[in-house]
């Protein structure tokens, strides 16, 4: 979890990006959501505070992913989700996605048993680990 505003600004500046109101708005909206939202949900959240069209959101997301501030995850439904990249107290983490409602939840961490090095051929460097568990969430199971 990041603290909104000050952390958003710090992360932008640390990545060498200007802390524009739109970039801050996108990061704050992501920090406020308890899961990794699809673009439309993120846009709806950003628009509560800031005027933004879809093209601008996509451009901003591309920039923030390139800068390593956000991570992009592919959903089981083929849509992309975004959440904060690991930094500080925000650890590397996996995701759970419900195959019925599509909500992608950030998990607190990666399983410690994931020993990727043991699976890989010699000389391989891992740059990104993506773990996604798919299933049915509690809400959909009750409904």
Measured from the CB atom, the residue of 21 and 135 that comes closer to Zn ion is 135
Binding residue for Zn ion (CB under 5 A) from 74, 100, 114, 133?
100
Q: How far, in whole angstroms, is CA 45 from its chain's centroid?
A: 14
Q: Tokens for 26, please give them.
A: 């996108």
Q: Which is nearer to Zn ion, 42 or 106 (CB)?
A: 106
85: contact with Zn ion by CB under 5 A: no
Q: Applying CB under 5 A, which of residues 30, 36, 38, 61 lies at the interface with Zn ion?
A: 36
10 exposed, middle or buried (CB, 10 Å; 0-12, 13-18, 19+)? middle
**Residues 2, 27, 42, 106: which binds Zn ion (CB under 5 A)?**
106
Q: Is 70 in the site for Zn ion (CB under 5 A)?
A: no
Binding of residue 98 to Zn ion (CB under 5 A): yes
Output the smallest distance, CB 118 to Zn ion, in A.
25
- CA dist 58 to 20, 46, 106, 129, Å? 15, 12, 21, 23
Given the complex with Zn ion, which of 52 and 84 has the nearer CB atom? 84
Cα–Cα distance, 116 to 118 (Å, whole number): 5
| CA atoms of 49 and 136, how far apart (whole Å) | 32
The binding site for Zn ion (CB under 5 A) comprises 36, 83, 98, 100-101, 106, 137, 140
């Amino acid at each position: 979890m990041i603290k909104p505003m000050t952390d958003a600004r710090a992360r932008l500046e640390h990545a060498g990006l200007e802390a524009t109101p739109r970039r801050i708005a996108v990061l704050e909206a992501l920090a406020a959501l308890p899961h990794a939202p699809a673009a439309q949900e993120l846009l709806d959240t950003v628009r509560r505070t800031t005027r933004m069209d879809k093209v601008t959101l996509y451009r901003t997301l591309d920039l923030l992913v390139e800068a390593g501030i956000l991570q992009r995850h592919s959903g089981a439904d083929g849509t992309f989700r975004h959440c904060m990249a690991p930094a500080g107290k925000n650890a590397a983490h996996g995701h759970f996605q419900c195959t019925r409602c599509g909500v992608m939840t950030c998990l607190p961490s990666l399983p410690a048993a994931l020993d990727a090095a043991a699976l890989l051929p010699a000389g391989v460097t891992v740059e990104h680990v993506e773990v996604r568990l798919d299933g049915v969430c509690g809400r959909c199971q009750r409904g």
